[in-house]
Structure 1
């Protein structure tokens, strides 16, 4: 699926039944009649749509009430939104939803809160606090952490296009390109591929080792630059980091980057169905010392974690008890000595599958996988 076609006609709601069936199973387990979705990640999982207006807010422009009747009848949906967003949602993000399920709308004036339209009671649960209703956030997080087959295909396309955008942006750069100009080009390339840029970082030579989250600056990047982006489409997020050097790497630089890829290999090797997330993180962090970095290098930046419908749900650490399931998504980002590597990886029964790849970017084989090398234009 290329940048000109986001989703083939007729496939948009193809896995809605699968997701509603998961919610019905949850209703039977918890003896529920209704689940209310308010968290953007949960709404994006269910709808595969843009549920925000400002990218910077952690609140959505709609809520969805899922009527489950104890899980013993076909689920029905009520979209709760305001009069500003309702026409746009009907025409664009949720077009055709009413043909895929029993759908109703509750629309309030823009000056009124939506809370009054949301059900409460002992047989209602919500992923955010509602009066007289129990929370169900952890249960819903577990559901969305297993991508449907359709979502796996969509994420593969999102990651491929994010990789292509990063390559295209890097190939326009020179040592005199400012951080803002590089970020602008990266954003343009993402948007041309119908990816919303939700994270844009650019680090120049003087900041690569000191700053792990380098916001763009007005100064030139210099001899080496780091591009970082998170692009979102269908609610699914691809995370990508790429390094471009405007001079060949010397032996010391080449060795440092190779050792960092060995650290990444430990994270990737551990990302298997049934693995405890904290064990994967602990092994990856221990690999820094094993590969000749400062053993505490991992203290200077989080190493990544669960992804899918957010760049990271939370930074993984040794105490993270989540168990990776079939269809989980992780994004690891080891860094050290001015180098960084990052990918978005699908966890499958036959092993981890890194997805962010573009044939135009140079690669090197590490642990039986093709991993991104440093681009020297």
Structure 2
């Protein structure tokens, strides 16, 4: 009997006893059933019997929110083999008790390998044909499978995005010109962690560093104006939000740029419709920058966003990405110009674009029928 089989039997015997009383299994059973069928459809199209999922994006999507990481910078501590008979999650022996008790959805068999073992090789050994499809074999198909959000994950995403927007309000409303960029980032980090999420990205620039579009925070005070950016993950889903704060009425040039970048975003929203391709939307982005006075090269100075969800962007839109937009898909577009940027996480619904990262306390204006954030003036 091999090591993975021996430890599988031991783990399966202990699963029931290790689960806390009244513990709710992660995920939504109805949503998970649809996701499993989407994987089976991929297997049918490929003429194969199993698929090995190894990335955080694929695992958290398929498990419907289970946490399969320890280090935010490290690889997942689990791998999933999906075959026609069932779902098999393989993890290290030192992770199995926690995963069984807190992260294992109903109907998933748990297998273990030694903490020093080969996780992916052990999971592959469980494949009926001996060599499963890898994620790299079906990258585009898996991305398509993640596109259309299901009811349970849509509700989870909306709650996360609203929580992140509220954290932005709380943190920035307490800032002063003397507050440092690191202090803004730490205030945001504390709130993100307290809500049960992981801060994947925390950016802040004050008035003296406003030319940087990816500003890692420093000890500099923010001064008269600042931008903060958060990408926060909970249950596998990533919310992306940018907000601005200032301590005076703003210069005419700033106010004009803020109005024009919101107009660029409105044009992008108008182009984000079912059936549109990402390369076509990207062409509209390039034209919108010119149309609203930012210049033809503006798109080259920062990425423009794209579909969102179980990755920060899934994928980033470029002139070469040809994925087609579907109903109930989620997006974070982030057009930017010199010292100006706008960014929220939204969902394409039957009624149009619905902004998910909303805090009613934050000042907003209606732009082409959609409420968009203004700069918070303190």
Match of 1:51 among 29, 50, 68: 68
Write out aligned runs for 1:288-303 (5 A). Answer: 288-303=289-304
- Select between 237-246 and 46-55 the one with higher mean Cα deviation: 46-55
Correspondence 1:182 to 2:190: no
Are the counterparts in 1 of residues 54 and 120 from structure 2 also a CA contact under 8 Å? Answer: no
Correspondence 1:111 to 2:116: yes
Cα deviation for residue 122 of structure 1 reads 7.7
| Number of the residue aligned with 1:80 | 90
| Number of the residue aligned with 2:11 | none
| Number of the residue aligned with 2:363 | 362
1:23-78 deviation per Cα after TM superposition (whole angstroms, max 9, x unaligned): 22222232221111112101010111222111123x2110011121xxxxxx4111
* Rounded Cα–Cα distance in structure 2 between residues aligned with 1:37 and 1:27: 13
SS at match of 1:197: strand
Correspondence 1:32 to 2:54: no
* Rounded Cα–Cα distance in structure 2 between residues aligned with 1:188 and 1:264: 30
| Number of the residue aligned with 2:28 | 13
Are the counterparts in 2 of residues 272 and 349 from structure 1 also a CA contact under 8 Å? Answer: no
Give the CA RMSD over aligned residues: 1.7
SS at match of 2:261: helix
Distance 1:315 1:13, change over 3 A: closer
* Rounded Cα–Cα distance in structure 2 between residues aligned with 1:351 and 1:11: 30
* Rounded Cα–Cα distance in structure 1 between residues aligned with 2:98 and 2:153: 24
* Rounded Cα–Cα distance in structure 2 between residues aligned with 1:365 and 1:92: 42
State the aligned residue count. 351
More helix by share: 2
SS at match of 1:22: helix
Are the counterparts in 2 of residues 282 and 317 from structure 1 also a CA contact under 8 Å? Answer: no
Are the counterparts in 2 of residues 297 and 336 from structure 1 also a CA contact under 8 Å? Answer: yes
Are the counterparts in 1 of residues 28 and 152 from structure 2 also a CA contact under 8 Å? Answer: no
Correspondence 1:89 to 2:105: no
Are the counterparts in 2 of residues 345 and 354 from structure 1 also a CA contact under 8 Å? Answer: yes
Cα deviation for residue 11 of structure 1 reads 7.6
Gaps of 5+ in 2: 1-22
Cα deviation for residue 363 of structure 1 reads 0.1
Are the counterparts in 2 of residues 36 and 66 from structure 1 also a CA contact under 8 Å? Answer: yes
Cα deviation for residue 338 of structure 1 reads 0.4
* Rounded Cα–Cα distance in structure 1 between residues aligned with 2:238 and 2:160: 7
Are the counterparts in 2 of residues 273 and 348 from structure 1 also a CA contact under 8 Å? Answer: no
1:242-266 deviation per Cα after TM superposition (whole angstroms, max 9, x unaligned): 0001111233321110011001111
Are the counterparts in 1 of residues 197 and 233 from structure 2 also a CA contact under 8 Å? Answer: yes
Cα deviation for residue 180 of structure 1 reads 0.8
Distance 1:11 1:83, change over 3 A: closer
Q: When the two structures are superposed, what TM-score results if normalisation uses the length of structure 2? A: 0.89
